[in-house]
C-alpha cells in the first residue's frame, strides 16, 4: 500500500468513527427526551444549548479548522432538533388568534428551537402578490385577501411537521378551520385587549386596526371573534405576562397532553 492509499484508509476509518458517534449522539437525544417526559421536565432548555455551544467553542478556540468544525456541529444540532420535532409532533401546528396575540413571534421561536419550517401566511401572501397586506386590502378588498388565505391553507395540507402562522382572521371562515384540521392541531393564542394594544400600537401593518388603536375597539372585535376562535381551537394558550419561552413550553405541554388523553 502506498502512502496515498494509507491516508484514504485512515480517512475511511475516521468517517466510520464519525458515523458511529452520530448514531450514538442521536440515541442519547432520544434518551434525554424520554427522561424529560418521564419526569415532566420542560422540553425547551435554551440555556443548555448555549452551555453546550460555549463548551465546544472553548475546546476549539485554538484550532485551525475551528469555523469548519463549528459549522458541522451546528448542522448536527439542527438535525437533532428535527429528530426531536418529528418525534413530538406528527402533524402541522397551526397557530390562530387575534392580531398581536403573538402567532408570528411564537412560530418563529418554535421554528428555531425545533428546526421546523414555518409558513407565515401573511408574509407568503404578501410575497406572492408583491405588495403589503395593507395594500392588498386597499387595492383588491378584504374578500380577495380572505380567498387567498383559504387557498393557501389547502396548499399546506401537503406539508407535514410545519408550523403554520395564520393571519388573525383565518379562523373566521368555517371552511378554513375544516381545512387546517385535516393535517394540523390548532393552537389558539389569547391575550387581553390591553396587552394586544400595547403590542400593536407602534405598527401599521394591520389594516383592520389602523385608526382604531384603542382598547374598546379591540375588545369589541375580539368579542365578535371569540366564539369562532374557541370553536376552532384544539388547545388554548394564554400569553399575558409570559415570556415567549414560557408560552412555547406551555403550548408544547398542552399538545403532548392531547396525545396522553387520546391513548
Which residues contribute to the annotated binding site for ATP?
100-105, 206
Site string for ligand ADP, 13-52 (x = CB under 6 A): ----------------------------------------
Residue 102 Cβ, how far from ligand ADP at the closest point, in Å?
Answer: 3
- Residue 133 binds which entry of ligand S3P, Mg ion, ligand ADP, none, CB below 5-8 Å type-dependent: ligand S3P
Question: How many Å apart are CA 52 and CA 50, to the nearest integer?
Answer: 5
Site string for Mg ion, 96-135 (x = CB under 5 A): -------xx-------------------------------
Question: How many Å apart are CA 12 and CA 155, to the nearest integer?
Answer: 44
Site string for ligand ADP, 99-138 (x = CB under 6 A): xxxxxxx---------------------------------
Q: Which is nearer to ligand S3P, 102 or 183 (CB)?
A: 102
Residue found under cell 421546523: 116
Q: Which is nearer to Mg ion, 80 or 237 (CB)?
A: 237
Residues 166-195 that bind ligand S3P (CB under 6 A): 167-169
Could you report how far apart the first and last alpha carbons of the chain are, in Å? 60
- Which span sits near ligand S3P by CB under 6 A: 110-118, 179-187, 202-210, 246-254? 202-210
- Residue 213 binds which entry of ligand S3P, Mg ion, ligand ADP, none, CB below 5-8 Å type-dependent: none
* Closest C-alpha to 94, from 157, 1, 44, 40: 157
Chain residues in the site for ligand ADP (CB under 6 A):
97, 99-105, 168, 199, 239, 242, 244, 247
Chain residues in the site for Mg ion (CB under 5 A):
103-104
Amino acid at each position: 500500500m502506498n502512502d496515498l492509499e494509507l491516508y484514504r484508509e485512515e480517512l475511511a476509518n475516521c468517517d466510520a468513527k464519525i458515523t458511529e458517534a452520530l448514531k450514538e449522539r442521536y440515541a442519547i437525544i432520544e434518551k434525554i427526551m424520554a427522561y424529560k417526559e418521564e419526569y415532566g421536565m420542560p422540553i425547551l432548555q435554551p440555556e443548555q444549548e448555549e452551555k453546550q455551544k460555549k463548551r465546544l467553542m472553548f475546546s476549539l478556540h485554538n484550532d485551525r479548522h475551528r469555523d469548519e468544525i463549528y459549522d458541522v456541529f451546528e448542522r448536527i444540532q439542527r438535525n437533532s432538533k428535527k429528530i426531536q420535532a418529528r418525534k413530538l409532533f406528527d402533524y402541522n401546528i397551526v397557530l390562530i388568534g387575534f392580531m398581536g396575540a403573538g402567532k408570528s413571534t411564537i412560530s418563529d421561536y418554535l421554528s428555531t428551537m425545533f428546526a421546523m419550517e414555518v409558513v407565515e401566511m401573511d408574509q407568503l401572501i404578501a410575497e406572492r402578490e408583491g405588495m403589503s397586506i395593507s395594500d392588498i386590502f386597499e387595492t383588491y378588498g378584504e374578500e380577495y385577501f380572505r380567498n387567498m388565505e383559504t387557498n393557501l391553507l389547502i396548499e399546506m395540507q401537503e406539508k407535514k411537521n410545519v408550523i403554520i402562522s395564520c393571519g388573525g382572521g383565518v379562523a373566521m371562515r368555517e371552511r378554513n378551520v375544516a381545512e387546517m384540521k385535516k393535517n394540523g392541531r390548532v393552537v389558539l393564542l389569547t391575550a387581553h385587549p390591553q396587552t394586544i394594544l400595547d403590542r400593536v400600537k407602534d405598527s401599521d401593518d394591520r389594516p383592520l386596526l389602523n385608526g382604531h388603536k384603542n382598547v374598546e375597539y379591540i375588545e369589541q372585535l375580539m368579542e365578535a371573534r371569540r366564539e369562532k376562535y374557541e370553536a376552532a381551537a384544539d388547545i388554548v394558550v394564554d400569553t399575558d405576562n409570559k415570556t415567549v419561552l414560557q408560552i412555547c413550553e406551555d403550548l408544547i405541554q398542552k399538545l403532548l397532553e392531547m396525545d396522553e388523553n387520546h391513548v
